Each structure stands twice: as structure tokens, then as C-alpha cells.
Amino acid sequence: MNGIAKILIVDDESIVRMSHSRLLRGGDCKVEAVWNGADALAEMERQAYDLVLLDLRMPEMDGLTTLRAIKSRWPSAEVVIITGYPTVETAKEAIRLGAYDYLAKPVPPDEVIKVANGAIAQKRWSLHQDRTIQAN
């Protein structure tokens, strides 16, 4: 993984996509945004992403279905669920499926940045560990 983190934002609310994009876009992050799970999978086919910020309730394909597909095809991608409809059941299922974190909307800007940084650091650490193990 090079120094540029690739982040995909998946939310059917344009204001959320724009807000998260503005927060995370910068010299060390490339950010793209799509409005549903089907578009997210198509975008992931086009290029790999390090982090996916994923809404739960979306048209066509819900967040848990999208999470399941991402983790089965791109297991090293970190996924953070951000939902306006949190439940204990969906939180447990998201973590079981491999989500890095699960946050309830509204999420303060500093929390979005904090969780994104944590997820990217986790991915970098995991990749480093994989290379270390392979070298031995």
C-alpha cells in the first residue's frame, strides 16, 4: 500500500457523501463516493479501496449485503458502517461479517476522521504483518 489511502463513501444521501468527502479528501487520501451498494461493488471492481464508509439502508442493495460481498471479494478492505438506524442486531452482524467499526448517525466530523485514520492504520499494519510473515 502506497502513501495514498483510497476511500469509498457509499450513502444514498448526497449531503452525507459530500460531507464525508470534504472531511477526508486531501493530499494523502483519494476519495470517491457512490449512492448505493451495487455502484459500490462496481467501483470496487474498477479499483481497490483501502476503506469503505458504508450506509446500511440504501436502495437496491442494503449495507449488510454490500459488506458481505466486499469482504468475500476484497477481504483486506476495511469497512466502517455508518447508519441512521442502528440496532444491536445489525451492529453484531456487521462486526461478525468483518466490519472495522459501526457508528450511529449523526457522526461528528472529528469522529469520521478518527475512525477513518484508525481503519487505514489497521490495514497498513495488517499488510506489514503479512509481508513480515511471508519474508520469514
Give the model confidence (pLDDT) of 73-107 as tens digits. 999 999 999 999 999 999 999 999 999 999 999 99
Three-state DSSP state, 94: helix
**Mean pLDDT of the chain, nearest integer:** 92
- Asked whether residue 122 carries a pLDDT value surpassing 80, the answer given is yes
- The residues with which 116 forms a beta bridge, in sequence order, are none
Q: Report the pLDDT value the prediction gives residue 26, as an integer from 0 to 100.
A: 81
Give 131's pLDDT tier (boundaries 50, 70, 90).
Answer: low
- Asked whether residue 132 carries a pLDDT value surpassing 70, the answer given is no
pTM of the model: 0.90
- Asked whether residue 127 carries a pLDDT value surpassing 90, the answer given is no
Q: Which CATH superfamily is domain 5-135 in?
A: Response regulator (3.40.50.2300)
Q: Above pLDDT 70, what percent of the chain? A: 91
Give 126's pLDDT tier (boundaries 50, 70, 90).
Answer: confident
DSSP per-residue codes, 22-85: HHH-BTTEEEEEESSHHHHHHHHHHS--SEEEE-SS-SSS-HHHHHHHHHHH-TTSEEEEEESS
Give the model confidence (pLDDT) of 3-26 as tens digits. 789 999 999 999 999 999 999 998
Q: Report the pLDDT value the prediction gives residue 28, as an integer from 0 to 100.
A: 87
